[in-house]
Every structure is written in C-alpha cells, then in structure tokens.
Amino acid sequence: MYTGGKFLNVLAVDIGVGTQDVLFSLEETDENSPRMVLPSPTRQKSQEIEKTSGDLFIRGSTMGGGPVSSAIERRAQSSSVVMTPRAARTVRDDLSEVEEKGIEIDNEGPEGASEIVLGDLDFPALELLLDETSASCDCLAVAVQDHGDAPQGVSDRRFRVSRMAEVIESGGELSEFALLETSEDFHRFSAVLKEGRQLSENVVVTDTKISAMTGAHSGSPSLIVDAGNGHVSGALFSEDTRITAFFEHHTASLDSDHLTDILKSFLSGELTNDRIFEEGGHGAYIDKILEPEDFLATGPRRAMVIGTNLPFRSPPNLENAMMAGPYGLVRLTEELFEDMEAN
C-alpha cells in the first residue's frame, strides 16, 4: 500500500559478496521492524556447488558472481558444466568469454548432471520472514552491484563508473540511481526486478554501494565511505542528499594508509578516474567538491576507514552499521515515489 509518498511495509534486501542484510520496515515504529544478516546468495550457491560432484547443469537468473563464479570455473576444469544463457551471465556478460572458460552454453544439460538454480533472491528466507510477521510486502527494494553489460572493447569497470557519472552530472539525486523497469544494459538488475515480482508487484532495484552510503547519511554535507568485503566506495553527499563525487576500489588492494592518500586526493578534487582504474579499481568521478562536516564509515571492513587519519566515525543514526544498506533502500524508495507523485 502506498500512501502520502510512502509505502507502509518495505522489504529491503541489501545483497553483498559476504552477506545479505534484510530489513522489513513496517508501518509501526522502527524498533518493531524485523531485521536479519544472512550469508549472501553467492556464497550459498558456491557451497551448494562444492557439495555436489560430477557434471553440472546450471539454470536460473543472472546473479552476483564472486564465489559462485569461482566455484563454477573450478568445476569446469574437471567436469562438464552447461549453463543457460541467462545463468551464464553470472560469470561474464560476454558469453563468448564464458565459453572460453570451458563452460557450454545451452538450454539443456548433460544426462545425469546435478542441477543448480541461480538467483539473487533468497526466497525461502524472505518468505519465512513474511509468514512470521503476517504483514503484506507493499514494496520490495533490493540492492545489488551490477557492473553493466559494457560495449565491446570497453572495460566493465569503466562502464560502471561512467553510468554513475551520468547520474551525478545530471544532479546526483538518489531516485535517479534506482530502476523500476528492466534494462538491456544491466542484466543482474533486470533479473532481480523480474524475480522480485513473485513477492510484490512493486519492486525497486539500486546499487548496493549507493544504498549503504545513503543509509549512513546524517543530513549534513558528508564524506561517506562504505568498505565492503569486495569493494570500497566513497561519495560526497550534499546537505540535500545529492551525490556530487564518487570513487570505487577493490578492498583487497587497500589498507588504511593507501586509503588515506586516495581520500585526501578525492577531497582536493585531484583524484582521477585513470589513477583508480590503473591501480585495478573501478574509477572515480568528481562533479563538485564540497567541504564535509561529517566523515562516516560503514560496511563490514569499516575499521580500515576509521583507521585513516581522517575523522571518520560510525553512522550515528544507525545502531547497527550492517543495516546501512537496508535503511538506505527504504529512504531511496520513499524519495523515488515522492518524485513520481510530484511529477
């Protein structure tokens, strides 16, 4: 149900490499909203693959890669692995690159093969939560990371940052980072939108880094860094919750000292897209520099951020920093539908 610019019951699911963080934001007070931190679907599926033996037939939807992609590639070295086209984009958007890894693309698997069904949404867990609360899911809001289907010859890292840059350059409004309809450029986002309609007719999908930083924003001009298990992202947020600059690197490539250097360059406006890309990260885009009044760190690896020589602290508006993503999803969803209502 949508009333007065707000959904009453928003099921927010932030899906990372290590965990999936869930908040069912109910019409009642915040304290009564159920929340869960569970292993991520990509870790669950990778374990499922490791527990099976022999040939594999993998179908389902495009989902987050990481551990599950690695498990699939390892199995392809010793057994026959057949994937449907949609499922195969979990490994790479370019299916010819999937085939180069020894994986066959087909809609039917070898006889006697174990079957694995891919998908980002953990339906058993989410349906159990809905059953236990006996509440309707008025809107499902999901955050995942999707690099995008880059054009031939373009790095998916550069493509991802270029799409972020487009939104920031056009004003950086949070609602512009969200999708309500499928997109040919983003297969994972589109898969979540399609699957999510099994739980709610209203589905919103956005980027997991945007949702986490949004959930941490305290309302003043801020530098917010989300340090996840796979990626570290930072953004400058204006007082009216617009993003004016963004960078993203791989967590494994950073320590507190290296991150300090990057952040100082970022705040001075000197950090370049090429520098981050050449270090193996995704990139950076700076539209407007502002002087932050607050320095906020979130994510499971936030200790590295707090360990820099900048005055970072955990978000004061969150009793649990792992809930930054879900809270950001609820906030972004409300803003999205308020904008739609106004227009």
The reply to whether 228 falls in a domain is: no
The answer, yes or no, to whether residue 285 has pLDDT greater than 60, is yes
For residue 242, give every residue at least 6 positions away whose Cβ sits within 8 Å of its Cβ, in sequence order, or none. 171, 172, 173, 174
Average predicted confidence (pLDDT) for the chain:
91
pTM higher than 0.85: yes
- Contact between 244 and 182 (Cβ < 8 Å): no
The answer, yes or no, to whether residue 29 has pLDDT greater than 70, is no
Q: Which pLDDT tens digit goes with each residue over 168-200? A: 999 999 888 988 898 888 889 999 999 999 999
199: left (phi over 0), alpha (psi -120 to 50) or beta: alpha
The answer, yes or no, to whether residue 201 has pLDDT greater than 80, is yes
The reply to whether 106 falls in a domain is: yes
The answer, yes or no, to whether residue 65 has pLDDT greater than 90, is no
The reply to whether 180 falls in a domain is: no
The reply to whether 80 falls in a domain is: yes
The reply to whether 53 falls in a domain is: yes
The number of folded domains in the chain is: 1
Core vs surface per residue 116-152: b (16+ CB within 10 A) or e: bebbbbbeebbeebbeebebebbbbbbbbbbbbbbee
Q: Which pLDDT tens digit goes with each residue over 146-158? A: 888 778 888 889 9
Helix (H) or strand (E) holding 212: helix 208-216
Pick the closest to residue 175 from 5, 4, 54 (CA basis).
5
Distance CA 115, CA 44 (A): 15
Distance CA 287, CA 169 (A): 6
> Across-strand partners of 296?
224, 313
The reply to whether 156 falls in a domain is: no
Question: If DSSP codes are grouped into helix, strand and coil, which group holds residue 109?
Answer: coil
Q: What's the average model confidence in pLDDT over 48-69?
A: 94
Q: Which pLDDT tens digit goes with each residue over 292-329? A: 999 999 988 999 999 999 999 998 877 777 789 999 99
Distances in whole angstroms, Cα of residue 30 to Cα of each of 23, 60, 175, 189:
10, 35, 22, 28
| Domain assignment of residue 103, given as a range | 41-118
Least confident range from 7-11, 96-100, 241-245: namely 7-11
Return the pLDDT at 335. 81
38: left (phi over 0), alpha (psi -120 to 50) or beta: beta
The reply to whether 62 falls in a domain is: yes
Q: Token match 């809270």: residue?
A: 327
Task: State residue 105 phi and psi, 5-degree precision.
Answer: -105, 115
Least confident range from 105-109, 215-219, 224-228, 295-299: namely 215-219
> Concatenated DSSP letters for 121-163?
--HHHHHHHHHHHT---SEEEEEE-----PPTTS-HHHHHHHH
The reply to whether 233 falls in a domain is: no
